[in-house]
Amino acid sequence: MSRIFLGIMFLFSLLVSACSPASPPSQETKSSPQTAVEGEPHRLTTRIGNEEIDSIIDVVASGDVQKLRSLIQFTTAKCTKLEGLGGLPKCQKGELEGTPVEVLPFLGPEGSFVRKAAIENWPGIKASGLYAIYQVSSEAYSDVNYPAGEFAIIFTEKETASAVSVQVSDGKIVLVDYIFDTSSEVLNAVVQRNASKLILAPPA
């Protein structure tokens, strides 16, 4: 084989390697395929290698509502006799204003609570996919009665055509946020507003 021919082959290999796309940066996801269809939410089989987060995804994906309820970290809030939506949990019959009660806070159009004594009435999360996972920013909304978690996991629910953001600290659910507009513009805005670090980016 001539030196000229070897030189040509060497130059050709350099050109091919130079034109090959660089490997995309890793995204801390150590598992199965991300999306079934381009633009669709990530599959519920997605895992990121973080035990706290993956355990929540495991339970949600299993549909075991009882086990999901066992992962709740209840907040102690003082009840109120004031009427109206939002605000503090409402006092029940026989409770004095300011009585401490254990609750799971919910956000959405208005803030609300489910009491620990009534948590069996919470139907859990009927997830069909994962939209994004991120570390919650210190700038995200947080209140003594609506505590922000360390991480947020956004699940999509095909049956209800909504999304549910679950905020997690130390492997426990501390806050649930229902998002009824599941357009990519709205969900991406939620992520951009509340995330300090992306762990699983929204689908492209």
How confident is the model over 24-28, as a mean pLDDT? Answer: 37
For the record, the structure tokens of 3 come out as 């030196």
pLDDT per residue as tens digits for the range 38-52 = 569 999 999 999 999
pLDDT per residue as tens digits for the range 64-105 = 999 999 999 999 999 999 987 778 999 999 999 999 999 999
For the record, the structure tokens of 177 come out as 């946020």
Q: Pick from 182, 170, 173, 139: which is nearest to 153 by CA?
A: 173
Tell me the C-alpha distance between 56 and 38, whole Å: 25
Tell me the C-alpha distance between 15 and 202, whole Å: 34
pLDDT higher than threshold 70 for residue 149: yes
Residue where the block lists tokens 């706290």: 52
The model's pTM: 0.80
